[in-house]
């Protein structure tokens, strides 16, 4: 049976501009691969993030075209051809899973997709003014989140310490787990001193305190740190098993954070998990501002890992023009309300 594939661009609009240490996001471009044959179809999302994804390249669209033109060569062939395009790899994995599934949005059937279980997630606090960040924190706590992640590194450091102090005055570490994400904002020279100040607030972890590709400096930080360090951007662009192993052995972080759209989809994520667990390195999975189509697949995959640690999967409500789906955030968890229908129209 002849299979054909098409690719489609879609621009997601943020409900409100969302601040990171790399700037303010107002829109998010994404791409969909749709495969079809004999009346059946499957959909996958290629969750690229301009300025951060390793495959943010001028030839991205040409690579999508090549991939769709050669769809009948199969998944294994195309994954190998897209080794340097991790967002296309996950789009392909999703599209083929979706095509072969009974329900094209139920890629990994489980108690989660049957609405019999949920996934604990962290509440994400975007950067902004002190008042804006305080309001977000209050909203997340009132919404039942037990784990909150703050993006730091864009406003004055002492102001950020003040925000953390304010949370800890009200909520102990056993009440609310606090994670911070510096997105590489600290310099290697000042990072350890800042980590010491942050550790006063009994944080769960800090993501990527310094910019990636500084292995020696990061390894020293991981050895001397008073609070656990999680590698995030550091994993982007590391394609081979050997290089992944070399990175983990050289840096020896306390955690790694896995964004399937950035690190080779589900296959790539499985490789990182296997290597991390061999070295007793903790991990969790995070979405990367995909639409609900990508978030849905990543959440279903994550549930099968049966980890109790809060995951970073709460991004579905950020956009005004997301596709309506069964995914719902409630009491600090992601739930799959399978009585709600999908509305996926490009």
Q: Where are the alpha helices (DSSP H) in the chain?
A: 60-69, 75-81, 86-100, 130-142, 157-170, 191-198, 215-224, 241-251, 265-278, 292-304
Last residue in a domain, options 31, 66, 100? 100
Last residue in a domain, options 48, 68, 100? 100
Q: Are residues 89 and 124 in the same domain?
A: no
- Say if 142 falls within a structural domain: yes
Q: Are residues 194 and 65 in the same domain?
A: no
Residue 79: CA atoms inside 13 Å, Cβ hemisphere, count?
A: 16
- Say if 345 falls within a structural domain: no
Backbone angles phi, psi at 42, to 5 degrees: -140, 150
Last residue in a domain, options 73, 100, 127? 100
Q: Are residues 259 and 135 in the same domain?
A: yes
> What is the model's pLDDT at position 133?
81
Q: Which residues, including other chains, have CB under 8 Å from residue 25's CB and lie 6 or more apart? A: 14, 17, 18, 19, 289
- Say if 114 falls within a structural domain: no
Q: Which residues pair with 149 in a beta bridge?
A: 124, 179
- Say if 206 falls within a structural domain: yes
> What is the model's pLDDT at position 21?
55
> What is the model's pLDDT at position 278?
97
- Say if 56 falls within a structural domain: yes
> What is the model's pLDDT at position 19?
65
Backbone angles phi, psi at 336, to 5 degrees: -115, 95
Q: Are residues 77 and 172 in the same domain?
A: no
- Say if 107 falls within a structural domain: no
With tokens 């954070």, the residue in question is: 257
> What is the model's pLDDT at position 17?
78
> 129: domain CATH number?
3.20.20.120
> 63: domain CATH number?
3.30.390.10
Q: Are residues 47 and 169 in the same domain?
A: no
Number of independent structural domains in the chain: 2
Reported pTM: 0.95
Q: Are residues 261 and 146 in the same domain?
A: yes
Q: Which residues, including other chains, have CB under 8 Å from residue 130's CB and lie 6 or more apart? A: 155, 159, 162, 163
Q: Are residues 291 and 143 in the same domain?
A: yes
CA–CA separation, 33 vs 83, rounded Å? 17
Q: Are residues 68 and 144 in the same domain?
A: no
> What is the model's pLDDT at position 126?
82
Q: Are residues 174 and 73 in the same domain?
A: no
Average pLDDT of adjacent 10-residue blocks, the chain of 346 residues:
94 84 82 96 96 95 98 97 98 98 96 97 86 87 93 86 90 93 94 97 97 97 98 96 98 98 97 98 96 98 96 90 96 94 90
For residues 334 and 314, the answer to whether their CB atoms sit within 8 Å is yes
With tokens 């996958």, the residue in question is: 44
- Say if 66 falls within a structural domain: yes
> What is the model's pLDDT at position 20?
63
Instruction: Domain of residue 17: give its range.
Output: 4-100
Q: Are residues 124 and 91 in the same domain?
A: no
- Say if 283 falls within a structural domain: yes
Q: Are residues 93 and 123 in the same domain?
A: no
Q: Are residues 175 and 34 in the same domain?
A: no
Q: Report residue 311 CA to chain centroid gap.
A: 9
Task: Show the tokens assigned to 345.
Answer: 């129209």
SS3 346: coil
Q: Which residues are catalytic?
A: 151, 259
The 282-285 sheet, strands edge to edge: 123-125, 147-151, 177-181, 205-207, 229-231, 255-258, 282-285
Q: Compute the Cα dihedral for 273, 277, 279, 284 and give only its sign.
A: positive
DSSP strand pairing (333-336 vs 119-120): antiparallel
Cα–Cα nearest to 300, from 145, 74, 98, 48: 98
């Amino acid at each position: 049976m002849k299979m054909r594939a098409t690719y489609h661009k879609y621009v997601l609009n943020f409900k409100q501009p969302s601040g990171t240490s790399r700037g303010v996001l107002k829109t998010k471009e994404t791409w969909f691969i749709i495969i079809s044959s004999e009346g059946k179809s499957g959909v996958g999302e290629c969750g690229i993030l301009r300025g951060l994804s390793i495959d943010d390249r001028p030839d991205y669209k040409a690579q999508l075209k090549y991939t769709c033109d050669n769809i009948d060569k199969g998944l294994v062939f195309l994954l190998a051809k897209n080794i340097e395009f991790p967002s296309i790899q996950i789009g392909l994995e999703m599209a083929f899973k979706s095509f072969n599934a009974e329900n094209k949005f139920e890629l990994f059937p489980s108690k989660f997709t049957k609405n019999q279980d949920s996934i604990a997630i962290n509440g994400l606090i975007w950067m902004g003014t002190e008042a804006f960040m305080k309001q977000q924190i209050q909203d997340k706590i009132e919404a039942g989140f037990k784990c909150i992640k703050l993006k730091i590194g864009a406003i004055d450091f002492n102001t950020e310490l003040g925000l953390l102090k304010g949370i800890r005055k009200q909520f102990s570490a056993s009440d609310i787990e606090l994670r911070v994400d510096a997105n590489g904002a600290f310099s290697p020279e000042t990072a350890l001193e800042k980590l010491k100040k942050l550790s006063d607030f009994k944080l769960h972890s800090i993501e990527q305190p310094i910019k990636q590709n500084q292995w020696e400096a990061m390894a020293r930080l991981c050895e001397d740190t008073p609070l656990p360090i999680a590698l995030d951007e550091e994993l982007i662009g590391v394609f081979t098993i050997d290089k992944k192993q070399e990175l983990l052995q050289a840096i020896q972080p306390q955690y790694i954070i896995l964004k399937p759209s950035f690190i080779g989809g589900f296959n790539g994520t499985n490789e990182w998990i296997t290597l991390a667990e061999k070295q007793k390195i903790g991990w969790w999975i995070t979405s990367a501002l995909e639409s609900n189509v990508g978030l849905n697949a990543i959440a279903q995959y994550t549930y099968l890992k049966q980890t109790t640690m809060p995951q970073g999967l709460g991004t579905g409500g950020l956009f005004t023009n997301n596709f309506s789906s069964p995914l719902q955030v409630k009491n600090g968890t992601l739930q799959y309300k399978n009585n709600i229908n999908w509305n996926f129209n490009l």
